[in-house]
Amino acid sequence: MKSRTSLQSPKLKLAFQLKPPRLVRWGFHPSPYTPLMIGLTEDGLLCRVEFTRKRKAALVMKDWAESWPDTEFVLDKKATGIVAQAILRGRPLPRILMTGTRFQQDVWKTILEIPQGEVISYAEVAKRINRPRAVRAVGSACGANPVPLVVPCHRVVGSNGRLGGFGSSLDLKVKLLNEEGVRNYAA
């Protein structure tokens, strides 16, 4: 598999907003890790990437609808398939829309600065956003990341080197870190 370094290139175009989009086109796609659900706004901005962890598309869609109750979801495997392949092959991505609180946005922006092949602690992320006591909240923001792989929250670990959490599974976090050549964490 090709390296995903292009996901963090300066050409990555991010937009942030507090409210979810009005419409999301979605699709369910295979990947080497676990199937992915991809969500695009009506304007083609990537707004959701979720590792399904062996869950059916309907269950993931139910979670999405609960978290974004005012959003209409429409199946569009063709458009989302193109983006899924770009993510998995390290190709340039469309513009990305990150929906979350200002605190979450600060965390995600900081995570984007972590170079491929490196990890930092939740405490270090909290320090970098000038909220040194918000270590647990940083972990929650990582868990709320709507576009993992693109915003590589798998590169954030505990201060003791332990993996901490990962919404998709610790096994997947280990796979992603190993693929990047990271070895300085405690399993």
CA distance 34 to 52: 6
The gap between the terminal CA atoms of the chain, to the nearest Å, is 24
Within 10 Å of residue 187's Cβ, how many Cβ atoms? 9
Phi, psi of 29 (to 5 degrees): -140, 145
The pair of structure tokens assigned to 41 is: 């706004």
What single letter denotes the amino acid at residue 141? Answer: A
Active site residues: 153
* Cβ contacts of 55 within 8 Å, gap of 6 or more: none
Residue 186 backbone phi and psi in degrees, to 5 = -105, 125
Q: Which residues contact 72 (CB under 8 A, 6 or more apart)?
A: 22, 23, 24
At 117, is the secondary structure helix, strand, or coil?
coil
